[in-house]
Amino acid sequence: MKSWVFPLSLAGFFLLFIGSLTLFYKFDDRLSNGAYRSGSSIKSKKSGILDNRSLEDSVITSKVNKVKDEPSALFNDPAINQAWGLKKADAARAWAVTKGSRQVVVAVIDTGVDIHHEDLKDNIWTNPGESGIDSKGRNKATNGIDDDGNGFIDDVHGWNFVSNNNDLTDHHGHGTHIAGIIGAEANNGKGIVGIAPEVSIMVLKYFDPQVPGADNLRNTIKCIHYAIDQGAQIINYSGGGLEYSQAEHDAVDEARKKGILFVAAAGNERSDSDKIPYYPADYGLDNIISVTAFNPSQEVLPSSNWGTSSVDIAAPGQNILSTLPGNSYGFMTGTSQATAFVSGAAALVMSHKSGFKYADIKKYILTNGDVLASLNGKTRTSRKLNLYRALTILDQDITASGVKAVNDSNVRVLSSEQSGSDSNLNSTASFGKSLLNALEKENPQVKERVGSKKPDLEE
């Protein structure tokens, strides 16, 4: 190698680093955007300086203060008709079987969550050891005492490992969006509906755009240990990086030993995860489900990672409407969103079959996805998530035609869009006009923005 090559490369990486920092601060000011995170994990691999775990490239494609009011026969939540992902995942029929259970705890390891959001607040996990009244008549949640002796003071809904306190404020939007996909409340006349409308979301914060120096990998590992110790049954991790970490591997393995399912994003690195592993999705532990994202045409997004041995399943991940901080809502795109779909599905399966451990849940979800030709060469199963089938096909108590499922008077059942064999079900409700059409009319540039590296926030 010529003597000038090395210094030149070094200078190149230095410029890359400075460029990244510039981007970071620029977007930090604008809040709520994950676009600048994309590729930062790659840079960290090369420079060893930037974060070794980061959010994915989950772009907020648009933000709305009030969702469009489109009453639905299914639930009274105004925006349910806009949720194309719910339709593709056959959510309505799944809800006829179960709407979830607050006994099921899903740990969302992310940027925090707006726990006061109008469409989330009743589905936030409460630590029983930090709630109620202490011996002196004070509220355990705010008494400044570690009542349950777990090493965290007043950790009533989770913990902020970035700032090491119980402030779970989401300064980004990503974590609140993920929480809404998993478990926004149904039938409250507000906003949207999560995959598991009844669930308990444990909020664990590993990343904060306002704290740029934080060690996101170390914080991730702490979050995993907390989730294990506090009894989460499912962990959602919509992030990752290219750096292998033995400590992180061991934490996920410890979760495995406790029967905990770990749902992880395949990543938005635009690469083959079989060749370039993305962690924690690709640790090869069998309690991990690695999830990639597809669009309304059921094709894997160009930005999403794929892999016929490393990526398990695909779920909706483009222009997904969910909750954002401050009682607002917005659309985001990425395998982060797809991951949340699968975590919500896992919560539904678990609430339907209490006592299930990760192996059972994983089998139900993966075996019963819909095979799609467009997923050949993209995932191990060539399947996309189907919530209803995940709940029923292997279940001897409920037939595939959903006989027991349709007796709930609160829920009306959609006909299956992908299979004529189920068309004998009551087809009394509809998600209304195609969401994609609606989106394109409302927001003509939405398609072009998807996968864009540039943020495009709207009021």
Nearer to Ca ion, 47 or 76 (CB): 76
Do 261 and 346 touch, CB atoms closer than 8 A?
yes
**Residue 336 appears among annotated catalytic residues:** yes
Nearer to Ca ion, 56 or 77 (CB): 77
Nearer to Ca ion, 152 or 294 (CB): 152
Decide: helix, strand or coil at residue 126.
coil
From 99, 140, 171, 383, residue interacting with Ca ion (rule: CB under 5 A):
140
Q: Is 191 in the site for Ca ion (CB under 5 A)?
A: yes
Structure tokens at 93: 């029929």
Dihedral angle sign, alpha carbons of residues 375, 378, 379, 380: positive
| Count of residues touching Ca ion (by CB under 5 A) | 17
Q: Is 145 in the site for Ca ion (CB under 5 A)?
A: yes
Nearer to Ca ion, 150 or 426 (CB): 150
Q: Residue 333: which of 303, 299, 298 has the closest Cα? A: 303
Q: Which residue is nearest to Ca ion (CB)?
A: 77
* Residue-by-residue DSSP string for 242-292: S---HHHHHHHHHHHHTT-EEEEE--SSSSBTTTS--BTTTS--TTEEEEE
Q: Is 451 in the site for Ca ion (CB under 5 A)?
A: no
Q: Is 51 in the site for Ca ion (CB under 5 A)?
A: no
**Residue 147 appears among annotated catalytic residues:** no
**Residue 110 appears among annotated catalytic residues:** yes
Cross-sheet strand order for the sheet of 313-316: 158-160, 198-205, 100-110, 234-237, 261-265, 288-294, 313-316, 383-384, 370-371
Nearer to Ca ion, 2 or 136 (CB): 136
User: How far is the C-alpha of 197 from the C-alpha of 385, rounded, in Å?
Assistant: 17
Burial class (CB in 10 A: 0-12, 13-18, 19+), 8: exposed
Task: Report 146-175 residues binding Ca ion (CB under 5 A).
Answer: 146-148, 150, 152, 154-155
Annotated catalytic residue, options 51, 57, 110, 170:
110
Structure tokens at 31: 């809040």
Query: Least distance (Å) from Ca ion to the CB of residue 369?
Result: 26
Annotated catalytic residue, options 72, 271, 290, 336:
336
Q: Is 118 in the site for Ca ion (CB under 5 A)?
A: no
Task: Report 56-85 residues binding Ca ion (CB under 5 A).
Answer: 77
Interface region with Ca ion, contact rule CB under 5 A, candidates 27-35, 136-144, 211-219, 341-349: 136-144
Burial class (CB in 10 A: 0-12, 13-18, 19+), 49: middle
* Helix (H) or strand (E) segment spanning residue 105: strand 100-110
What residue ranges bind Ca ion (CB under 5 A)? Answer: 77, 119, 130, 140, 143, 145-148, 150, 152, 154-155, 185, 188, 190-191
Residues serving a catalytic function are 110, 174, 336
